[in-house]
C-alpha cells in the first residue's frame, strides 16, 4: 500500500437532500483519513421556490460538520445546476491544488474510500495516461481483479489531477463528432450496449445536462484510463428517485466491501475481463423489455 504524502482535498457537491447529505457526510467522516483531509462543500441554491426549505436544511446541516482537517462551505447565491456546479468547483480547486477527491450528496462511501483515492492518486500521479481513480464498481456477476483499468473516466466517487482535468472538453458536439470521425462509437459503447453514445446525444440535444458523459468521452478520446476497485467502495443512495437527474432504480445497488482494496503499480492496460463483465451488465440493464423478461424467467427456472 502506498502511503500518501498529503491527502487530497475533498469536494462535496450538495443540493436539496438533507437526509442523503447527512449519510454522505457521516460515511466520509468515518474514514481513517478524514481528519487529514480538507473538505470543501459546494451548496447549490434552490432552482425553484419549493426547494428553498430543503436547501436551507442542507445548509444548517453543513454548519455542523466535524471530523475533517478543515471545512469550507461555498454557498451559491444562484442555482448553477449539477453540471455547472461540478465543472466550476473542480476547476476552481484544481487551480489551487494538484489533485482532488470528488463526492456528490447521494454517495455513501466505505471507511476505506479515502485511502483508496489517495493511494491511487499517489501511485499514478506521474502516469499521464491515468485520468481518474474511481470508487464505485458495477454489480457484475464475474469476479474482478483487486483493481483494474478501463478506458475513459467515471463519476461516482472519484479523484483526479490537474493534469488530467485539463483534458475535459465541455463541448458535447465536438466529442460526438470526434467519436464518429475516428470510428470509435462501438468501442465507446463497450461493444454496442447502446447507452453511452445515446447519453451524449441527449446531452447535446439539451435533454440532460450530464457533465459525466463529457468527462468520460473526453478521456476516452484521449486514450486515458481510470482505475477501478474490484469490490465497490461506494454505494449510490440517490437512485430512489429523489435526485434531479436520477430515476428510481435498483440496478446499480451494491454492497460496500468491508475490506480495504489494495492499490499497486500495474501495467497501463485495460482489463479485458472487467470490460467484458461490465459490458454484459449494461447489456442486461438496457436490453429490450422482452429480453429482460426472458432472462428473468430463465433465472427462475434455472436458479
pLDDT in tens, 85-140: 999 999 999 999 999 999 999 999 999 999 999 999 999 999 999 999 999 999 99
**Chain position carrying cell 447527512:** 22
User: Does 99 map to a domain?
Assistant: yes
Report pLDDT for 203.
Answer: 97
Give the global pTM: 0.91
User: Does 127 map to a domain?
Assistant: yes
Report pLDDT for 116.
Answer: 99
Angle between helices 196-204 and 211-221 (to 10 degrees): 120
- CATH number at 65 reads 3.90.550.10
| Average pLDDT over all residues of the chain | 92
State which residues form the domain around 243. Answer: 10-167+222-301
User: Does 88 map to a domain?
Assistant: yes
Say if residues 211 and 88 touch (Cβ distance below 8 Å).
Answer: no
User: Does 74 map to a domain?
Assistant: yes
Overall domain count for the chain: 1
Q: Does the structure show a pLDDT above 60 at 289?
A: no
How far from each other are the two terminal CA atoms of the chain, in whole angstroms? Answer: 39
User: Does 156 map to a domain?
Assistant: yes
Report pLDDT for 303.
Answer: 38
CA angle 53, 57, 59 (to 5 degrees): 115
User: Does 106 map to a domain?
Assistant: yes
Strand partners, 39: 10, 71
User: Does 90 map to a domain?
Assistant: yes
DSSP-assigned letters across all residues of 41-73: EEEPPPSSGGGHHHHHHHHHHHTT--SSSEEEE
Calculate mean pLDDT across residues 48-57: 98
Report pLDDT for 251.
Answer: 81
Calculate mean pLDDT across residues 254-277: 97
Report pLDDT for 275.
Answer: 96
Report pLDDT for 120.
Answer: 99
User: Does 59 map to a domain?
Assistant: yes
Amino acid at each position: 500500500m502506498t502511503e500518501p504524502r498529503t491527502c487530497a482535498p475533498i469536494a462535496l457537491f450538495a443540493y436539496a437532500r438533507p437526509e442523503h447529505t447527512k449519510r454522505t457526510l457521516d460515511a466520509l467522516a468515518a474514514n481513517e483519513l478524514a481528519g487529514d483531509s480538507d473538505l470543501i462543500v459546494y451548496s447549490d441554491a434552490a432552482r425553484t421556490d419549493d426547494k428553498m426549505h430543503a436547501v436551507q436544511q442542507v445548509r444548517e446541516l453543513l454548519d455542523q460538520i466535524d471530523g475533517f482537517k478543515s471545512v469550507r462551505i461555498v454557498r451559491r447565491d444562484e442555482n448553477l445546476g449539477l453540471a455547472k456546479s461540478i465543472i466550476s468547483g473542480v476547476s476552481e480547486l484544481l487551480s489551487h491544488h494538484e489533485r482532488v477527491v470528488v463526492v456528490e450528496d447521494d454517495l455513501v462511501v466505505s471507511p476505506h474510500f479515502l485511502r483508496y483515492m489517495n493511494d491511487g492518486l499517489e501511485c499514478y500521479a506521474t502516469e499521464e495516461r491515468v485520468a481518474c481513480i474511481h470508487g464505485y464498481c458495477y454489480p457484475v456477476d464475474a469476479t474482478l481483479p483487486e483493481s483494474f483499468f478501463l478506458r475513459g473516466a467515471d463519476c461516482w466517487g472519484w479523484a483526479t489531477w490537474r493534469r488530467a482535468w485539463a483534458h475535459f472538453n465541455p463541448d458535447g458536439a465536438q466529442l460526438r463528432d470526434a467519436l464518429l470521425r475516428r470510428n470509435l462509437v462501438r468501442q465507446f459503447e463497450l461493444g454496442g450496449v447502446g447507452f453511452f453514445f445515446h447519453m451524449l446525444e441527449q446531452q447535446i440535444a439539451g435533454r440532460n445536462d450530464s457533465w459525466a458523459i463529457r468527462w468520460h468521452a473526453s478521456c476516452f478520446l484521449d486514450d486515458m484510463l481510470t482505475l477501478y476497485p474490484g469490490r465497490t467502495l461506494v454505494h449510490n443512495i440517490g437512485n430512489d428517485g429523489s435526485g434531479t437527474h436520477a430515476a428510481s432504480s435498483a440496478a446499480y445497488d451494491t454492497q460496500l466491501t468491508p475490506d480495504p482494496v489494495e492499490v499497486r503499480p500495474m501495467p497501463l492496460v485495460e482489463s479485458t475481463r472487467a470490460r467484458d463483465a461490465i459490458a454484459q451488465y449494461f447489456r442486461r440493464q438496457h436490453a429490450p423489455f422482452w429480453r429482460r423478461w426472458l432472462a428473468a424467467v430463465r433465472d427462475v427456472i434455472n436458479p
